[in-house]
Structure 1
Amino acid sequence: MSAESILTQELQPHIRYADFLHYHPWKTPPRIITDYMLLYVQEGSFRLSIEGETYQLMAGQFCFVQPGIVHQMESISSSITFMALHMELFPSSVENRLEMIVPVDHGYNPDLITVQPNLRVFTDIDIPFVLKLSRPDWMLDAMQQAITHWNRKNALDHLQAQVYVTEIVLELIKEYTTRPMSELNRSTALHWVPAYMQYRLSETLSVEEMAQKALMSRSYFSMHFRKQFGLGPHQFLLKLRLDNATDLLRSTVLSLQDIADSCGFSSVHHFSKMYKLRFGYPPSQIRRQS
């Protein structure tokens, strides 16, 4: 995955494990995780050793460990209680999914272990190991709710837990993106636009309206649309309308007027003119062939 914006990615948060945990003297071996781990210390304290640094986490603090990074944790207090969430952020197949925790031994080769992408590959997000959040109370409540619902072990509660973890991921991205909030609200990912056009084929749909829905100026929207789809938005919409009209000509007995109306053309004359400009022959020829 090349270095690019987190805002252009397909994110699909998914809980793999969630629980309230309590340990007496506790120490992990050096290890990596294959997903993302969010911890909240409820009682006690522990030491996180990661990338040559050591962090001491006390009650009331959150930490976030990403995939593929060798780390070790050890309790400082005689006992420790914390909340733990293991989650994926990106789509993955069950067949290729490994255990959440992989101990580091002499045969360890990070290139042979399938993990979720480390967020450092993206240019516009930087989440530290020890979190300093604007809304820690909100995060604490969201974690508690996610864990509680996930441990009820039924489909509806699991679905509710996924809603909470999606909100947690959204909060982390908003908190630690390096982009201004104005740019967050103006993501250049326009993958939703073709489906939006399909649903609106029979209606008048302007570039200005689509740009407004995307929170962009007309020129900014048109530039990014052409970059992503190879055509300007007006030309792309016209192509969808003519392709849909061709399907209707071949598969129905609708009149040219009805087809023109259902595909968003202002008149049969306009429909016929645009059709001949693109295909080199009038729509009536398709009807005769059919």
Structure 2
Amino acid sequence: MEDAQGIVLTAHSAGLSITTFGKSHTYPGHYYGPAMRPYYLIHYILSGKGVFQSYHGDSRTYRLHQGQGFLIEPGFVNRYESDASEPWSYIWVAFSGSEARSIIEALGLSQEEPIFSCTPEQGHALEQCIDRMLEFQDVQLANSFRRMAQLNEFLAILAEAQKDTLPSARADDYVASGLAYIRSHLSEPFTVQNLADYLRLNRSYMTTLFKEKIGMSPHEYIQQCRINKSGHLLESSALSIETIAYSCGYAKTDSYTRAFQRQKGMSPSAYRRLCRENKYSLYLVNNK
């Protein structure tokens, strides 16, 4: 038996959705299973101890205590039982969706490696996430977003707890993340230092990685992307030069004009005229 407070939700066909969550204070010898779950389920032990058994090829038994947690993957048989003398209390959250598997893999958890550990501070933060979820029980749309926010925080805490067990990011990963950041923030006047801070890299080391992988510095790549974007806007829109400059991350039109001149060999206004003349010439050729 157990004294449990839990919520079961209807899963949606989204990238990630919460299935159930809650908190339980178990009685001595309380157990669940052997059984399979249709979703990913994470338990974290707040106090006491117990046994978790995972059946994957061969049976594995884990004797767990406060500060540890375990993952149950969908489609696998598992069993867990509270200790007879020091029954455990735990929190849990379950989720499913197309992104669920990749999230679990990113955390370094699996049916083969289902156990994780947290510091007392991290454990307290995990408990707070579940407590907040329990405050947002009804089916209002606003509360569904609030629950998802707490799930994301829960996963972020797990990622922090698991960071020493995860492989270090490779140079390719840093550069790929940097390129994605640049492309997503072209309309903002961010600096190379902002990019280094985002990647948590020394600026000089980041520049070295970029030059090795794409043959140009972060500054050169940012300028190229901004000028190329502005060229498209000059050709395809009637936006003013000032508006295009701001839309491409330039705080001042003069700075944009100088950068465009250096890369294209002409001013933005001249480039726009040339594009219009070429289009008109092409129109005349096609309509002879």
Superposed counterparts of 1:26-37, under 5 Å? 26-31=31-36, 34-37=39-42
Counterparts in 2 of 1:75 and 1:284: CA distance versus 1, 3 Å? same
Superposed counterparts of 1:76-115, under 5 Å? 76-77=83-84, 82-88=90-96, 91=99
Counterparts in 2 of 1:151 and 1:246: CA distance versus 1, 3 Å? same
Tell me how far 1:86 sits from its aligned partner.
0.9
Counterparts in 2 of 1:48 and 1:240: CA distance versus 1, 3 Å? same
Match of 1:169 among 125, 147, 155: 155
Task: Choose between structure 1 and 2: higher strand proportion.
Answer: 2
Contact 2:91 2:127 (8 Å CA) reproduced: no
Tell me how far 1:28 sits from its aligned partner.
0.5
Tell me how far 1:178 sits from its aligned partner.
1.3
Superposed counterparts of 1:203-282, under 5 Å? 206-225=191-210, 232-253=217-238, 264=250, 266=255, 268=257, 271-276=260-265
Aligned counterpart, 1:49: 53
Per-residue CA deviation, residues 40-93 of structure 1 (Å, 9 max, x unaligned), is 467x864311264423456x565221426542224555998653211359725x
Q: When the two structures are aligned, how many residues end up with a matched partner?
A: 241
Aligned counterpart, 2:124: 137
Aligned counterpart, 2:185: 196
Aligned counterpart, 1:17: 20
Secondary structure class of the residue paired with 2:33: coil
Contact 1:48 1:55 (8 Å CA) reproduced: yes
Secondary structure class of the residue paired with 2:206: helix
Contact 1:35 1:116 (8 Å CA) reproduced: no
Percent identity, aligned pairs only, is 16
Task: Provide TM-score, normalisation by structure 1.
Answer: 0.60
Tell me how far 1:16 sits from its aligned partner.
1.9
Matched, 1:288 2:270: no
1:259, 1:117 → 2: CA distance? 38
In structure 1, stretches of 5+ residues that fail to align are 1-11, 93-114
Counterparts in 2 of 1:84 and 1:150: CA distance versus 1, 3 Å? farther
Mean Cα deviation higher: 215-224 or 76-85: 76-85
In structure 2, stretches of 5+ residues that fail to align are 1-14, 280-288
Counterparts in 2 of 1:258 and 1:63: CA distance versus 1, 3 Å? closer
Q: Which has the higher contact order (CA 8 A, sep 6+)?
A: 1
Contact 1:257 1:268 (8 Å CA) reproduced: no
1:85, 1:255 → 2: CA distance? 52
Mean Cα deviation higher: 254-263 or 169-178: 254-263
Task: Provide TM-score, normalisation by structure 2.
Answer: 0.61
Contact 1:20 1:83 (8 Å CA) reproduced: yes
1:66, 1:40 → 2: CA distance? 14
Counterparts in 2 of 1:249 and 1:177: CA distance versus 1, 3 Å? closer
Tell me how far 1:289 sits from its aligned partner.
2.6
The root-mean-square deviation of aligned C-alpha atoms, in Å, is: 4.5
Task: Choose between structure 1 and 2: higher helix proportion.
Answer: 2
Mean Cα deviation higher: 166-175 or 215-224: 215-224
Aligned counterpart, 2:140: 154
Contact 2:207 2:217 (8 Å CA) reproduced: yes
Secondary structure class of the residue paired with 1:199: coil
Counterparts in 2 of 1:61 and 1:287: CA distance versus 1, 3 Å? same
